[in-house]
Amino acid sequence: MIVLSGAALVLPDRILSPGTLVIEEGRIAEIRTDAASGGHADSHFAFHGHYIVPGFIDVHVHGVDGVDSLDMRPEGDAIGAIAERLPRYGVTAFCPTTVACGPEALGRVLDQVRRAREAPAARAARVLPAHLESNFINPEYAGAQPSGCLRSPRAALGSGRPGGSGGSRVDRSAKASAERAERPAERPDFTAADILTEIERAAPDVGIVTLASELDGGLDLVRWLASRGHRVSLGHSAATYEEALAAVASGARQATHLFNRMPPLGHRAPGLAGAVLQTDEVAAEIICDGAHVHPALIRTATTDHRRRVDGAPRGRDNRGQRADHGSGVPDAGRPRGSLAG
Ligand SMILES: [Zn+2]
């Protein structure tokens, strides 16, 4: 038996302070409303002045401690290495997250995700299906994403896939050479359709896909992904308020790093951010490091969320997931002084 006493315990509905947590055989056996001593405990730890919170579930993790999800590591899987390192930051489950990349690199990550899910490592964070910050984002809002890897949703679905461009089948090789000819020096050799082929191949390990729904074919891609059970997240996007609502009506259920890499919230043009804030069906990531989003807007977003979730019917309280972004929890900065997101 392990007893953790005297801390403020963050419970689903309140903070209990002081409180005592009794753990037996790896599970919480009792929560006591006191700061009592350990009694017959094998181990007793006094945590006065500390918080004890549930493990964080982070839906947006590119990497940590210098390990990136897309790294090729001779010493082993990048995903396994990230899972091993996350618990020290309080993260006990996470969606490994990729930036826009080619199908081989994507496939390598998704294979690692599958292996980690099939055989979870002891004392590591649980690996959840991946989050693809995908190739289908708006080049104008790409931020830290490699622009040479961005592709068109219309091109992806135009190659004869159901839900594609409604009968206007596009010859894939012709499309591929057209794409390559456009910006040959900057465009790695793969097509938009190759990415969907990879998503189909590894479907159970693809959880969340971030995209910009306002791109040509974007709403078709939202429907294509949502109908296959993937969670569509709106981000790196210039979507207007109306375009964002259309994406939600098509099945989008999340927003990627709310406020970052999307047009600013305007009082006459609320945009994607405004649509997310007023839509119960949509969960939102927000980067709470104090640098990516002004604390006042974090307060506004979370207060608004809490007020409406408190009054929401059961089953509707799916908003307000928060996730960190960037490589490493303590450091959200990116090379060249720009911020991720
Ligand atoms: Zn991003």
Query: Which amino acid, one-letter code, is at 136?
Result: F
What is the structure's pLDDT at 74? 85
pLDDT category of residue 293 using cuts at 50, 70 and 90: very high
- For 314-341, what is the mean pLDDT? 37
Q: Ligand 1 centre and the CA of 208: distance in Å?
A: 13
Cα gap 221→232, rounded to integer Å: 9
Cα gap 225→175, rounded to integer Å: 22
Rounded (10°) CA dihedral 150, 142, 161, 252: 170
Cα–Cα distances (Å) from 323 to 80, 97, 148, in that order, read 20, 11, 26
- For 40-62, what is the mean pLDDT? 91
- For 264-271, what is the mean pLDDT? 95
Between CA 202 and CA 213, with CA 199 as vertex, the angle to 5 degrees is 150
What is the structure's pLDDT at 206? 98
Q: Ligand 1 centre and the CA of 194: distance in Å?
A: 22
Phi, psi of 311 (to 5 degrees): -100, 5
Residue 53 or residue 34, greater confidence = 53
What is the structure's pLDDT at 313? 37
Q: Ligand 1 centre and the CA of 306: distance in Å?
A: 25
> How many percent of the chain have pLDDT more than 70?
79
Q: Ligand 1 centre and the CA of 8: distance in Å?
A: 34
Q: Is the pLDDT at 172 greater than 70, yes or no?
A: no
Report the predicted TM-score, pTM, of the whole model to 2 decimal places: 0.81
Q: Ligand 1 centre and the CA of 61: distance in Å?
A: 10
pLDDT category of residue 187 using cuts at 50, 70 and 90: low
What is the structure's pLDDT at 38? 54
Measured in whole angstroms, the distance separating CA 299 from the mean position of its chain's CA atoms is 21
What single DSSP character describes residue 88? G
Q: Does residue 295 have a cis bond before it (omega within 30 degrees)?
A: no
Q: Is the pLDDT at 170 greater than 50, yes or no?
A: no
Cα gap 270→278, rounded to integer Å: 10
Instruction: Output the average pLDDT for the chain.
Output: 84
Q: Ligand 1 centre and the CA of 138: distance in Å?
A: 11
Q: Ligand 1 centre and the CA of 340: distance in Å?
A: 6
What is the structure's pLDDT at 328? 33
pLDDT category of residue 163 using cuts at 50, 70 and 90: low
Q: Ligand 1 centre and the CA of 11: distance in Å?
A: 31
**Residue entry with tokens 């689903």:** 12
What single DSSP character describes residue 299? H
What is the structure's pLDDT at 227? 98
**Tokens, residue 77:** 């899987």
Cα–Cα distances (Å) from 48 to 5, 21, 27, 228, 232, in that order, read 7, 12, 22, 48, 42
- For 154-170, what is the mean pLDDT? 62
Q: Ligand 1 centre and the CA of 145: distance in Å?
A: 7
